[in-house]
Structure 1
Amino acid sequence: MTVKDKKQETMVKQQTFDSEEAFQASLEYFRGDELAARVWVNKYALKDSFGNIYEKTPDDMHRRIASEISRVEKKYINPLSEDEIFAVLKDFKYIVPQGSPMSGIGNKFQIASLSNCFVIGNSGDSDSYGGIMKIDQEQVQLMKRRGGVGHDLSHIRPKGSPVKNSALTSTGIVPFMERYSNSTREVAQDGRRGALMLSVSVKHPDSEEFIDAKMEQGKVTGANVSVKIHDGFMQAVLEGKNYTQQYPINAENPKYTKDIDAGKLWKKIVHNAWKSAEPGILFWDTIERESVPDCYADLGYRTVSTNPCGEIPLCPYDSCRLLAINLYSYVENPFTPEAKFNFDLFKKHVGMAQRIMDDIIDLELEKIDAIIEKIENDPEDAEVKRVERNLWNNIKTKANEGRRTGVGITAEGDMVAAMGLQYGTEAATDFSEEVHKVIAVEAYRASVYLAKDRGAFTIFDAKRESKNPFILRLKEADPEMYEDMVKYGRRNIACLTIAPTGTTSLMTQTTSGIEPVFLPVYKRRRKVNPNDKDVRVDFTDEVGDCWEEFVVFHHKFVTWMEANGIETARHFTDEEVDELVKQSPYYKATSNDVDWLQKVRMQGRIQKWVDHSISVTVNLPSDVSEELVGDLYVEAWKSGCKGCTVYRDGSRSGVLIANDKKEGAGDKDMPEKRPTELEAEVVRFQNNKEKWIAIIGLYNGKPYEIFTGIQDDEEGILLPKSVNKGFILKRKDEEGNTRYDFQYSNKRGFKTTFEGLSYKFNKEFWNYAKLISGVLRHGMPIEQVVNLVSGLQLDSENINTWKNGVERSLKKYIPNGTKAKGMTCTDCGSEHIIYQEGCLICQSCGTSKCG
């Protein structure tokens, strides 16, 4: 046994808890909130690769984090104590490290980064195949360490451009979008898929193809896409003029130019966003103009893209870690006429948050050293490891040099309501802007104090920043702080962001990020045994399971009820619930109620006090017009937003299903007479202890038929493991009988034919496969075919295992966003279940089930 193994064994012998034990303890910690308890145990409780859990409640986690941060503090003068740090972390009340920092700080069981966000890219405008492949590998290497990744495609030459290789002309941007998307889908760590942002400038001649790429069903499903909009383009749209695209996009003397109708392309952007919620919009000139790091563009800090959610614009190989301040906790006497925001405590904690974030950079540098050490000790050839090693060395350089931080917030919606204000109104926006102004000034003040004690980031230069609009606003807001910054420098090149806080807000039990409340009251279902005593059955589903319906109040809505003497334990009728909501500050202030134009104006005003960007979505009902979406984008640009994303209710699933027919009508484009040749994909699965293979014939990318058989057997389907695509050919044998053959190309391009797919079934398997193929050919929607296969009542244990393999093979073809009809979540009882990359996802609580 190695020293490492002995150490691991010793750690395993420490006190551990099973998942149920940790869940019950956490359930008590979260005061009966099952969703918060499940999320914490599954995502953030310290665990090893054997499944042993080392933390019973979030108190243990917060003590782990506080211990590590205090260890870093001791390196510097006037250190914070572990107890001081623990006090602001405890109960998720004030300061909340997000995602990777929460799970990774002090975690000795995994070698992973603490960074939430990365951007990568090649130097200059290189678009060689070598550079493109390097980006692909770097992207995957980061995703396996838990990072979300963004990169820009504007450097790739347009389609049809001459190239000096056998292709003669360039394929353009779209094929590489698909490559990067597929790489993302291949990466999964502990059930967590990679996250990717792809961007391109509207100035690029291929930008229209980029904008259209995700409109085709099944394409680029592993990436978010955003188009970088320039001020000149927006002016051309508003003035009805042409716009000149060029390549290279930043060249003074471009090799290629093209004049386009700006209004026509704008309408396409708006239409696609209206229909599918993508592409997102990045107002790139605003981003570059406002960016403090871009004052150092010539030193390697030119912003090129953003992280997957768009709130951190970054230069190549820079990274950022995220932390949220719980705004609700600073409202004293919430939901009463005496409500008051404690600005003194808030200012103190913003300063602590910035200091803790700087400590986390030191912890990240330790993590990067551990990653580099692991790479060096890996058995692969040095050439194989070269890209990964250089990647982390580049990231280490940027983290050490710029020391970028991401201090943000959560619970904006609850803070506003607790102050007695209605989200989206002018009064609420005035108050929110003042809060964010304080965050900006105090975070930068803390960074100046840190520079005095610990030294400024190495390339700080006050003259470079002297005309930056964000720095000038800080100077006006606090001239004394600015003078100190000129004198002592600043510890961090940039400090602030507003990120989405999905699971974080579940644990703070507040609204998410800058967003309003989603719903103050909603219904859930809980499965019950109708034979149990005192059980109320409100709903019986199609398979006979019984459910109790119960009203769920948003946590802070309960606080409002208590503050106003309303009994929270009694059963309310629907009419009583509606009346309660009308009386509350959450009335007309939900994500679907807030005035959309007011929301983007609010975003623009807050953006002036955030040096990075803001992740926010404008939620729209399904019946809004495309013109309204366009108006929102124009207003966002005029208001100073750095980006804008809209989501029209039902839009994602609508476009991905690509079904304008009546529900259940099926796909009438499927030919009932089988073509003689079909493209095919190979899917491998386990049938009991045997390895099986499914070959799925595709028509226009959709399943049309399926063949299965045993793999690697004398009488089975003998295909090399590298084969995953080919063609199914329909032929006649010597006796005139129909047979189906599979043809594929080997590595040298030579075609190999595997004869007689249908002969590889035993009789029972073949009959079921014919049934499945028949309903596929007649256009039954794929999700219904999966339900059909799942519901087959088969006696043989072996055929049931085969059935499960076929079901898994077909699930991958269900368009993302498709609603799983007739299904309810086993955790929360919600009917909002959708398919996502072959898995079932509950949109209400986030529970997922794959396989």
Structure 2
Amino acid sequence: MLISTNFNHFILLNQQLMKKKTYTFDEAYKASLDYFSGDELAAKVWVSKYALKDSQGVIYEKTPEDMHWRLAKEIARIEKKYKNPLSEQELFDLFDRFKYIIPQGSPMTGIGNDYQVASLSNCFVIGMDGSADSYGAIIRIDEEQVQLMKRRGGVGHDLSHIRPKGSPVKNSALTSTGLVPFMERYSNSTREVAQDGRRGALMLSVSIEHPDSEDFIDAKLEQGKVTGANISVKIDDEFMEAASAGKTYKQRFPIDSDNPKYEKTIDAQKLWKKIVHNAWKSAEPGVLFWDTIVRESVPDCYADLGFKTVSTNPCGEIPLCTYDSCRLLAINLYSYVVNPFTEDAYFDFELFAKHVQLAQRIMDDIVDLEAEKIDKILEKIDADPETEEVKSTERNLWKKIQRKTLQGRRTGVGITAEGDMLAALGIRYGTDEGNDFSEKVHREVAINAYTSSVKMAKERGAFEIFDAEREKNNPFINRLKEASPQMYEDMVKYGRRNIACLTIAPTGTTSLMSQTTSGIEPVFLPVYTRRRKVNPNDRDVKIDFVDENGDSWEEYIVFHHKFVTWMEANGYSTTKKYTNAEIDELVAKSPYYKATSNDVDWLQKVRMQGRVQKWVDHSISVTINLPNDVSEDLVGELYMEAWKSGCKGCTVYRDGSRSGVLISNGDAETKDKKKAEDCFEMPPVVTSRPIELDADVIKFQNNKEKWIAFIGLLNGRPYEIFTGINDEDDGIMIPKSVTSGKIIKAYDNDGRKHYDFQFQNRRGYKVTIEGLDGKFNPEFWNYAKLISGVLRYGMPIDQVIKLVSGLELDSETINTWKNGVERALKKYLPNETEAKGQKCPVCGQETLVYEEGCLKCRNCGASKC
């Protein structure tokens, strides 16, 4: 009878769903484009990632307005369980236009979604106690990781429990292989899992106390290793003090044992320099200041009850205990600036306080919705055709997660648009004034989120293990006690609804839809270039770029949305076509000047993170973007300053550093087999040169000699070079106005290959100069082929220049040629904090930037953390 009832309910539900109106992608995109006032990227991101769809890709929502009513309806349903419920209209007004409160990825996609059986949690941490380094335990963690990733979850787990390399084991292997092989296992599992185009995300961590921590730190430098995981090393205060003082440090295993089986004394400064070097070279490992994390952690007051923090989620903003999870939400800070970008601008703290309290309440409602989602996952597992033996692991996993979710009711209230908020108030990001104001805002977030949690404890009940006595010495709680004594008194009396409340997470696609800066980060660039694919046969089409596949692209200038608002507020035309010089002048007059991710004061940004961290009970996802030419010493200084400033973690990204790790071995067959979404990487090896390449013409003078260089470009990046003396007798005579053209590979009647240069003269006629490769001294040509070879195989430009500079040549003429090549190539050195040379795996364009620990595409909105 029960089976029949469930079946009938299933049929009825399907009939109801089938009646819902559906839309084509173009219909939803066109309507959303109007919703976002012509913002193509925001519209494309919303329809692709967040519009309600079934497993066949059928779209059931036309614009974000439909989505926001879906969210409001479901959360209002939960609200009705409690006193003084919020109405659907009140909730919709908070969500509408992404203006105030923005549920993040998984909640936005999953709430009210009856087409998918998925979790609402953005992140999980898993792990096992006891004999957790047995093969059985290691394989179990691998299986649990995959099960979570298939439900949209990002996963973190710690490897400090695995015995060090060479330790005795009770099996035929006799000794342990150490950490690295298991890093690869977990990494490979991540790469195998994809849901709706979403790649799994994994954080692996290890304690600096572990004797194999150096192998862990080095693991990702070996090409092709551990490409499916972020890695972070957990560093304690003792190690930091030893590293700064040049002292020794003792490693042990087990790491938390009073009687370890294995001990090892190391030079702390030497290992510290390796961490810094690797971060400088490849942006990893990130560092987690573990004593700070545990000391400040409110959940760790309940460590003996199962809330001991062991690792973090993939972006590092949520330190978690095993089998706990967290759902995320962002508050749009820009929307609380009244009269933005004017002399009368101010921050509405009264409305902000009210909305932070409502945001915390909504987050608690989402905990209940997650519990319902887990019930559905469990029902799905029970109904699956697999044997009980197969299903038991997944079922037990979700039961543990549901238990921990309801026991602590952890939430992740965060923010976005910090950079725009400061600019709208006329405050420059990265200054003392900016840091002061940011701390003030986040102090209000903390006070009001905890006030709301205390009020809910009075109305709905406290989280089940709340104990004020356990928390009385916690530094974060005591900070709140000093800031709001009455709230603390109420908390002691009534308890608190949520064990922890706050975070600052990456808001990549969320910030695209709210049309603001991302998370706590400054603006990336107030003005930049984007490409759109065009049909070359269309009338009046403008083609700026043709890629290696023959596709045509138009380049167009994009103004950051709030930069446009500043222009409007200050009387500047938003329809005029500006020259580059005029754009530079505009930016210099704006509050975004010297406040971009490229040029903020790095130490000030670290100090800002530390000051904000005092008011965030979890952690903060933030990236310190650095130019390519910074020293390793600076990276070490930033890491050390982060520790001293009270940050819980730190990540640096030196422009171009990832490319050195992800560069191809040159095996074209292997490269072709790699899935495009596996990783963000250097340009692929092109085994066959395209027939045509765009080319730049660079003229220069060394001593009294006139030189010319032709730089063939692939995707805007130097791919080959032809250069030599351009004298009157045998030089290449082209008009001074010609600075670009095409290099064309051609063959004569005898089948011999040659390279021609083609340009368009002032009358619009195409002019071809044949035999470009024969115009210069043959010795120059041989060296040019060498340089072209390393360019074609993806060597970073700065390294190519170093290679050329390091050539030891006897001939004075050749040395002059060498100087000319250096000068020609220096034009292409990166001057922005972009992931240079790396293509977006979704749209294929080199429009990636690195923010908040994630690579993000400015062209299509894709992101990878």
Query: Take 2:369 and 2:384, find their aligned partners in 1: how far apart are those partners?
Result: 23
The answer to whether the aligner puts 1:383 opposite 2:389 as a matched pair is yes
CA distance in 2, matches of 1:357, 1:122: 28
Separation in structure 1 between the aligned mates of residue 262 and residue 76 of structure 2, nearest angstrom: 56
Instruction: Give the C-alpha shift of residue 832 in structure 1.
Output: 3.2
Once the two structures are TM-superposed, the CA of residue 782 in structure 1 deviates from its matched residue by: 13
Q: 1:608 to 1:124 in 2, by over 3 A?
A: farther
2:373 to 350, 367, 370: 367
Partner SS, residue 555 of structure 2: strand
1:399-439 Cα deviation digits (max 9, x unpaired): 11100000000000000000000000000110000000000
**578, 603, 612: which one pairs with 2:609?**
603
Alignment of 1:676-695 (within 5 A): none
Shift in Å at residue 387 of structure 1? 1.2
Partner residue in 1 for 2:508: 502
- Deviation of 1:366 (Å): 0.2
Does structure 1 retain, via aligned residues, the 8 Å contact 2:154–2:201?
Answer: yes
The answer for the alignment partner of 1:108 in structure 2 is 114
**1:547 Cα deviation (Å)?**
4.3
TM-score norm. by structure 2 comes to: 0.78
2:334 to 313, 323, 328: 328
**SS of residue matched to 2:263:** strand
Partner SS state of residue 309, structure 2: coil
Residue 459 in structure 1 maps to residue 462 in structure 2: no
3-state SS of 2:439 partner: helix
Q: Tell whether 2:523 aligns with 1:517.
A: yes
- Report if aligned partners of 1:405, 1:494 keep a CA contact under 8 Å in 2: yes
Counterpart position of 1:422: 428
1:217 aligns with 2:223: yes
Structure 1 residue 845: deviation in Å?
2.6
Aligned residues of 1:657 and 1:818 also touching (Cα < 8 A): no
Counterpart in the other structure of 2:156: 150
- The 1:438/1:267 distance shift into structure 2, 3 A limit, reads same
Tell me if structure 1 keeps the 8 A contact 2:144–2:394: yes
Q: Answer yes or no: is 1:317 the counterpart of 2:323.
A: yes
CA gap of 1:160–1:502, structure 2 versus 1, over 3 A, is same
1:12–1:575: structure 2 CA closer, same or farther, 3 Å change rule? Answer: same
Q: Within 2, Cα distance between the matches of 1:576 and 1:240?
A: 52
- Partner SS state of residue 493, structure 1: coil
**Deviation at residue 657 of structure 1 after TM alignment:** 1.7
For the Cα contact (< 8 Å) 1:825–1:842, is it kept in 2? no
Q: Counterpart of 1:757?
A: none
Matched, 1:205 2:211: yes
| Structure with greater contact order relative to length (CA < 8 Å, sep ≥ 6) | 2
Which runs of no fewer than 5 residues in structure 1 stay unpaired? 660-665, 671-678, 686-701, 706-778, 786-816, 835-840
2:262 corresponds to 1:253: no
Once the two structures are TM-superposed, the CA of residue 125 in structure 1 deviates from its matched residue by: 5.7
Match of 1:560 in 2: 566
Q: State the distance in 2 between where 1:516 and 1:818 align.
A: 17
Contact 1:830 1:842 in 2 (8 A): no
Partner Cα separation in structure 2 for residue 125 and residue 571 of structure 1: 67
Residue 396 of structure 1 is matched in structure 2 by: 402
Alignment-derived partner of residue 491 in structure 1: 497
Question: Match of 2:279?
Answer: 273
Contact 1:142 1:149 in 2 (8 A): yes
2:304 is the counterpart of 1:289 = no
Partner residue of 2:620 out of 594, 611, 614: 614
Contact 1:830–1:844 under 8 Å retained in 2: no
Determine which of 162, 167, 171 is the counterpart of 2:173.
167
1:249 and 1:826, CA in 2 relative to 1: closer, same or farther beyond 3 A? closer
1:845 is aligned to 2:859? yes
> Within 1, Cα distance between the matches of 2:181 and 2:248?
28
Which of 432, 449, 453 aligns to 2:455? It is 449
Distance in 1, Cα, partners of 2:580 & 2:643: 41
Contact 2:209 2:252 in 1 (8 A): yes
Kept after mapping to 2: 8 A contact 1:116/1:148: yes
Q: What is the alpha-carbon distance in structure 1 between the residues aligned to residue 611 and residue 652 of structure 2?
A: 18
Say if 1:783 and 1:820, in contact at 8 Å, map to a contact too: no
What SS is found at the alignment partner of 1:304?
A: strand
User: CA distance change for structure 1 residues 386 and 540 in 2, over 3 Å: closer, same or farther?
Assistant: closer
* Alpha-carbon offset, residue 682 of structure 1: 13
User: Partners of 2:372 and 2:659 in 1: how far apart?
Assistant: 43
- Tell me, in whole angstroms, the C-alpha distance in 1 between the residues paired with 2:450 and 2:291: 24
Pairwise CA distance, 1:551: 1.5
Displacement of 1:830 after TM fit? 5.1
Amino acid at match of 2:20: Q
The answer for the alignment partner of 1:53 in structure 2 is 59
Whole-angstrom CA distance in 2 between matches of 1:620 and 1:576: 26
Mapped contact 1:335–1:418 kept (Cα < 8 A) = yes
Q: Which residue of 1 aligns with 2:22?
A: 16
Which residue number in structure 1 is paired with residue 773 of structure 2? none
Partner of 1:481: 487
Q: 1:638 aligns with which of 637, 640, 644?
A: 644
Does the residue aligned with 2:563 lie in a helix, a strand or coil? helix
User: CA 1:278 to 1:59, structure 2 compared with 1: closer, same or farther past 3 Å?
Assistant: same
Q: Distance in 1 between matches of 2:863 and 2:635?
A: 34
Task: Give the length in aligned residue pairs.
Answer: 707
Q: Offset at 1:156? A: 0.5
SS of the aligned residue for 1:631 comes to: helix
Which residue in 2 is equivalent to 1:832? 847
Distance 1:418 1:832 in 2: 27
Q: Deviations over 1:186-232 (max 9, x none)?
A: 10111111100000000000000000000001000010000000000
Greater mean alpha carbon deviation, residues 650-659 or residues 533-542: 533-542
- State the alpha-carbon separation in 1 of the partners of residues 862 and 641 from structure 2: 37
2:543 touches 2:553 (CA, 8 Å); kept in 1?
yes
| Structure 1 pair 820–432 and aligned structure 2 pair: CA distance change class (3 A) | closer
C-alpha displacement of 1:270: 0.4
Instruction: Say if 2:143 is the partner of 1:137.
Output: yes
CA distance in 2, matches of 1:848, 1:447: 34
* Residue-by-residue CA offset, 1:302-321 (whole Å, 9 max, x unaligned): 00000000000000000000
CA distance in 2, matches of 1:229, 1:484: 36
Q: Distance in 2 between matches of 1:681 and 1:438?
A: 51
Question: What is the CA distance between 1:253 and its match in structure 2?
Answer: 1.0
For 2:98 and 2:44, locate their aligned partners in 1 and report how far apart those are by CA, in whole Å: 16
Report the counterpart of residue 191 of structure 1 in structure 2. 197
How has the CA–CA distance of structure 1 residues 568 and 684 changed in structure 2, closer, same or farther, with 3 Å as cutoff? closer
Deviations 1:506-553 (A, max 9, x none): 000000000000000012233445665554455566777654432110
| Per-residue Cα deviation, 1:36-94 (whole angstroms, up to 9, x for no partner) | 00110011000112222110000000000000000000001111111101100000000
Is residue 2:194 matched to residue 1:180? no
- Code of the residue aligned with 1:480 in structure 2: it is Q
Secondary structure in 1 matching 2:58? coil
Task: Give yes or no for contact 1:198–1:223 (8 Å, CA) kept in 2.
Answer: yes
Q: Which amino acid aligns with 1:832?
A: T
1:554-577: CA deviations, max 9, x gaps?
A: 000000000001010110000000
- For 2:302 and 2:228, locate their aligned partners in 1 and report how far apart those are by CA, in whole Å: 32
User: Are 1:63 and 2:78 an aligned pair?
Assistant: no
**C-alpha distance in 2 between matches for 1:782 and 1:370:** 53
Give the letter aligned to residue 845 of structure 1.
N
Percent sequence identity is: 72
8 Å Cα contact 1:524/1:830 also seen in 2:
no
The secondary structure found in structure 2 opposite 1:250 is coil
Aligned equivalents of 2:134, 2:119: Cα separation in 1: 29
Instruction: Give the 3-state SS of the residue equivalent to 1:627 in structure 2.
Output: helix
Structure 1 residue 78 corresponds to structure 2 residue 78: no
The residue that corresponds to 1:230 in the other structure is: 236
C-alpha contact 2:41 2:861 (8 A) present in aligned 1: no
Look up the SS of the partner of 1:612 in the other structure. coil
* 2:123 maps to 1:117: yes
- In 2, Cα distance between equivalents of 1:112 and 1:542: 39
